[in-house]
Amino acid sequence: MPVAAVTYDFLPSGRNSPKGGATARVHAALREAIVLLELKPGEMLDKQAIAMRFGVSRFPVSEAMNRLAAEGLVDIIPQSGSRVALIRISDARESMFLRRALEVETVRKVAAEAGPPLIEQLASNLRYQQAAIESGDLNGFHAFDLAFHAMLQDHLGFERIKTATETARLSLDRVRRLLNTRRRLELTLAEHRAIVTAIEARDGAQAAAAMNDHLEAVLAELESFANDNPELFADLNATGGNTK
């Protein structure tokens, strides 16, 4: 029985792709599909099918793959092709370590300076998070989650800290999607509320502790998920390894 052709219907077609060079368009679309888990960890990538989907030659697809490989999202295997990279729990730990170092100190300082405008912005964001949970809008919640943390960085006003935090967060986008259950979203909302409560009270120490607890909780859940799903991770053995 013939194998069904890969069509990549979830990728934008050449006609609907955003403006820009072919390599940039293919890279952006594939990166988004990998982060959103439309392309699964370990999945082989068919360059010809992708090229046909975008209406381009294989060259910009190969260039896009090289960029994704440099970002750790694609593995290029000599004589075999390319595949979506498995997730490295060690990379997630390192990125979360950076986030804790930066974001815990961010809220410690922000809490001492926060005024009514920031408090209202954060409270409004929490309401949107709640609405996204109630409507089952996982992507919407993710966007409001990102905006919540960005508001704190914007208020801090240190561009290099913001850039470093954003870099650490980007490397966690894919693994965070694995935890997008209703339960995790509700816990995240509760953790965010604890941060806002501490900021509203101008309690820098409590805000820092609440942010640390939030990020630690996400990492602990990821560690547990990795132990239960070792096939998605490059640095766990096939029978499930201890991630500690």
Which residue type is seen at 121? Q
Segments of the chain assigned E as strands: 44-45, 74-77, 81-84
Q: Are 196 and 155 in contact (CB under 8 A)?
A: no
Q: Give the mean model confidence (pLDDT) for residues 162-181.
A: 88
The percentage of residues in the chain with a pLDDT greater than 70, rounded to a whole number, is 92
pLDDT given at position 14 = 61
Q: Give the mean model confidence (pLDDT) for residues 175-197.
A: 94
Provide Rg for the chain, Cα atoms: 20
pLDDT given at position 203 = 97
Q: Are 66 and 79 in contact (CB under 8 A)?
A: no
pLDDT given at position 158 = 96
The percentage of residues in the chain with a pLDDT greater than 90, rounded to a whole number, is 74
The more confident residue out of 175 and 2 is 175
How many C-beta atoms surround the C-beta of residue 13 within 10 A? 13
Asked if residue 1 has pLDDT above 50, the reply is no
Domains of the chain and any CATH numbers: 14-84 (1.10.10.10), 89-232 (1.20.120.530)
Asked if residue 236 has pLDDT above 80, the reply is no
* For the chain, the helix, strand and coil percentages under 3-state DSSP, each to the nearest 5: 70, 5, 25
Question: What gap in Å lies between CA 155 and CA 117, rounded to an integer?
Answer: 10
Mean pLDDT is highest, among 18-32, 72-86, 197-211, for: 197-211
Give 174's pLDDT tier (boundaries 50, 70, 90): confident
Residue 143: beta bridge partners? none
- Looking at residue 233, the DSSP 8-state letter turns out to be B
